[in-house]
Amino acid sequence: MKVVILCGGKGLRMYELTEDMPKPMALVCGKPMLWHIMKNYKHFGFNDFILLLGYKGEKIKSYFVDYAWKYHNFRLDSKNGSIELLENQEDWKITFLDTGLDTMTGSRIKRAKDYIGNETFMATYGDGLSNVDANELLAYHKRMGKIATVTGVKKKTQYGILTVEDGIARSFAEKENFDGLINGGFFVFEPKIFDYIKDDTTCVLEQEPLRNLASDRQLAVYYHEGYWTACDTYSDILRINKECRNHQYLWKAW
């Protein structure tokens, strides 16, 4: 089964890092976020990836093309230029698709249709870390029998919650969780998802496609109670790397 990863955004809210690299390549524990996402999928047996590239996509291509010799021990025969790796490397199959600089999320996925084929596939964002169990997610999707399944996570906030009546605060409380769930990514889609995505560059997956699926009662929600974090800002990356230094690799499934 193929895993489609959205890697094309510009990451404007972490420009300190993304001026020179795409957001999925931001380093977490010395490795790109994208690497961690792929390692988790591989842990659950999924190693066939389609990377939907856009902004600075060549940086992602270069990383994986050079990955074997840059990040593994090897022996070089200078006479014929052959390289023999001295350790095992990840047996990933990766398709790199340039889907446009300003193409929206739904349209990027639509451009992968011919490479996905007429089969169930997984999809996620290249800027979210989680220990979601991909096999449990897939099993849930099959049980529900819908076109799409999205992983739902509780929305967390560090802000105080005010209760207001007639312009006067009635209460103030620190609250970790709102009731309800947000889109945590980590989707499973049937091929019919493409019927919900327009043939242009402006289709945002999180708008019309998911809304229409929900309206048609074709969007299942898999509730994930484990670790999940979005990596939207530079401070998010700093926080996650602080967790690394404290040996809190909470997103790792392997």
Residue range 2-152+181-245 in CATH 3.90.550.10: yes
Instruction: Say what the pLDDT of residue 101 is.
Output: 93
**pLDDT tens digit string along 97-115?**
999 999 999 999 999 999 9
Dist CA 114 CA 116 (whole Å) = 6
* Mean pLDDT of all residues in 64-89: 84
Place of tokens 């340039």: 98
DSSP strands (E only) in the chain: 2-7, 27-28, 31-32, 48-53, 74-77, 82-85, 93-98, 121-125, 128-130, 148-156, 160-165, 168-174, 177-183, 187-189, 219-223, 228-230
**All structural domains of the chain with their residue ranges:** 2-152+181-245
The one-letter amino acid at 177: N
Q: What is the pTM assigned to this prediction?
A: 0.88
* Most confidently modeled range among 14-18, 43-47, 86-90, 214-218: 43-47
Instruction: Say what the pLDDT of residue 169 is.
Output: 40
Q: Round the average pLDDT of the chain to a whole number and report it.
A: 87
Instruction: Say what the pLDDT of residue 163 is.
Output: 54
Name which of 38-52, 136-150, 151-165 the model is least confident about. Answer: 151-165
Q: Are β-strands 128-130 and 48-53 bridged in parallel, bridged antiparallel, or unpaired?
A: unpaired
**pLDDT tens digit string along 53-64?**
999 999 999 999
> 178: helix, coil or strand?
strand
Is the per-residue pLDDT at 224 higher than 80?
A: yes
Instruction: Say what the pLDDT of residue 223 is.
Output: 93
